Amino acid sequence: MSKETDLFEKCRQFEDAKRIQAAGVYPFFRPIESTSGSRVVTHGRRRVMIGSNNYLGLTHHPRVIQAAKNAIDQYGTGCTGSRFLNGNLVAHEELEKRLAKFLGKEACLVFATGFLTNAGVLSCMIGRSDVIYSDRENHASIVEGTRLAIGDTIRFKHNDMEDLERVLRNTRSKYAGALIVADGVFSMSGDIVNLPEMAELAKKYNCRLYIDDAHALGVLGSKGQGTEHHFNMVGAADLVMGTFSKSFASLGGYVAGTEEVIHYIKHRARTFMFSAAMPPAAVGTVMECLNIADTDTSHIENLRRNSAKMARELSAMGYNTLGSRTPIIPLLIGDDMAAFAFAQRLYEHGVFATPVVSPAVPEGCALIRTSYMATHTDEDLDYALEVLEKLGREFGIIGSESRASELAQLAQTHFGQKPAHSAVVTAQL
Catalytic residues: 187, 215, 246
pLDDT tens for residues 237-271? Answer: 999 999 999 999 999 999 999 999 999 999 999 99
Model confidence, pTM: 0.94
The CATH number of the structural domain formed by 62-295 is: 3.40.640.10
Mean pLDDT, the chain, integer: 94
pLDDT at residue 301 in the model = 98
Contact 211, 118 (CB under 8 A): no
Distance CA 342, CA 107 (A): 45
Q: pLDDT value at position 363?
A: 86
Cα separation, 243 vs 262, whole angstroms: 17
Question: Which part of the chain has CATH 3.90.1150.10?
Answer: 17-49+298-428
Lowest mean pLDDT among 91-95, 120-124, 384-388, 416-420: 416-420
pLDDT exceeds 50 at position 185? yes
What pLDDT was estimated at residue 359? 86
What pLDDT does residue 425 have? 33
Task: Look at residue 416 and tell me whether its pLDDT is greater than 90.
Answer: no
Confidence class for position 427, pLDDT limits 50, 70, 90: very low
Per residue in 22-79, pLDDT (tens digit) is 999 999 999 999 998 899 999 999 999 999 999 999 999 999 999 999 999 999 999 9
> Nearest 5°: phi and psi at 331?
-115, 110
Give CA–CA dist 429/58, Å, rounded: 22
CATH class of 17-49+298-428: alpha beta
pLDDT tier, 428 (very low <50, low <70, confident <90, very high otherwise): very low
Give the C-alpha separation, 331 to 356, whole Å: 10
Domain with CATH 3.40.640.10 in the chain: 62-295
d(CA 77, CA 279): 7
pLDDT of residue 420: 39
Measure CA 328 to chain center: 9
